[in-house]
């Protein structure tokens, strides 16, 4: 089973090295690594090129934003299973992809998801939040449950089924919540089968786009509601539950 891992970036600087090295250090033997760069101009291109042919595909060109770049990555991927590692994040250990592959083999699921740790931007050993995803139940979507997108690995067939009319997978009319819209589509409408692997897949540095300002937080909430209505799942009650579900992440640790 071949995995395609995709990293999206634009001017990430030296921090992208951590993401790259976490992927290259995996003990799983069949990984295609793809990096999509939005025409960075501060040394990222040189950093990526310094890894030579260890990077399977590298594209650096202007794009229309994060979700446009995600679509490009999916289109380039040749693996049976696709996953994402953001430029400022990292895989939590060298055995992450091997364990995910074992879970796919054992469950024959369409997707596998796990947990994530939010860590301090300048100290990845300091855990700020711990997102324990828990087992998936179809009805829980209306109660605000979603797996963390960076810890969700899906078979290529899922993307093919979820393709939009314009040939994309992530709707670029969203600026913050296209991944949420995508997950509602595959879990709510397509009702794919996903398996939970209780393991931390990713360490995410704090400071994500959706929480950088009050404006972004309000926009995220607005886009979440649009995604819910578009997919016919939930409404304001779901949004409230979705936000309250974050509270235990600050309290509980594994």
Is 141 in contact with 187 (CB distance < 8 Å)? yes
pLDDT single digits (tens) 98-140: 999 999 999 999 999 999 999 998 899 999 999 999 999 888 8
Domains of the chain: 3-250 (3.90.550.10)
- Cβ atoms within 10 Å of 103's Cβ, excluding its own: 19
Single pTM value for the model: 0.92
| Better-predicted residue by pLDDT, 241 or 79 | 79
**Among 30-39, 167-176, 196-205, 238-247, whose mean pLDDT is lowest?**
238-247
CA–CA distance, 205 with 86 (Å, rounded to integer): 10
DSSP state of 146: -
Question: For residue 212, what pLDDT band results from cuts at 50, 70 and 90?
Answer: low
Is 116 in contact with 206 (CB distance < 8 Å)? no
Cross-strand pairs, 48 = none
Query: Given a cut of 50, is residue 254 above it in pLDDT?
Result: no
**Among 200-209, 226-235, 245-254, whose mean pLDDT is lowest?**
245-254
The three-state DSSP-derived secondary structure of 182-202 is HHHHHHHHCCCCEEEEEEEEE
Two tokens at 234?
Answer: 């939930």
Contacts of 167 (CB under 8 A, 6+ apart): none
pLDDT at position 142, please? 86
The terminus-to-terminus CA distance of the chain in angstroms comes to: 30
Q: Classify residue 144 as left (phi > 0), alpha (psi -120 to 50) or beta.
A: left
pLDDT single digits (tens) 144-154: 899 999 999 99
Two tokens at 7?
Answer: 């990293």
Two tokens at 175?
Answer: 């600026």
């Amino acid at each position: 089973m071949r995995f395609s891992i995709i990293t999206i970036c634009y001017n990430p600087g030296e921090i992208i090295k951590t993401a790259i090295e976490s992927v290259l250090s995996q003990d799983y033997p069949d990984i295609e690594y793809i990096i999509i760069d939005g025409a960075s101009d501060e040394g990222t291109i040189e950093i990526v090129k310094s890894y030579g042919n260890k990077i399977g595909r590298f594209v650096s060109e202007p794009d229309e934003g994060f979700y446009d770049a995600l679509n490009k990555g999916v289109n380039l991927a040749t693996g049976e299973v696709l996953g994402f590692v953001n430029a400022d994040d990292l895989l939590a250990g060298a055995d992450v992809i091997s364990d995910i592959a074992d879970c796919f083999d054992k469950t024959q699921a369409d997707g596998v998801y796990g947990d994530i740790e939010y860590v301090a931007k300048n100290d990845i050993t300091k855990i700020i939040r711990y997102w324990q995803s828990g087992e998936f139940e179809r009805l829980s979507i209306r109660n605000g449950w979603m797996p963390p997108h960076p810890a969700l690995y899906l078979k290529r067939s899922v993307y093919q089924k979820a393709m939009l009319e314009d040939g994309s997978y992530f709707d670029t009319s969203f600026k913050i919540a296209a991944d949420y819209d995508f997950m509602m589509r595959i879990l709510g409408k397509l009702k794919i089968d996903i398996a939970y692997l209780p393991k931390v897949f990713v360490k995410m540095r704090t400071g994500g786009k959706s929480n950088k300002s009050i404006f972004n937080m309000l926009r995220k909430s607005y886009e979440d509601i649009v995604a819910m209505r578009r997919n016919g799942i939930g409404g304001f009650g779901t949004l409230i539950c979705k936000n309250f579900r974050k509270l235990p992440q600050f309290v509980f640790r594994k």
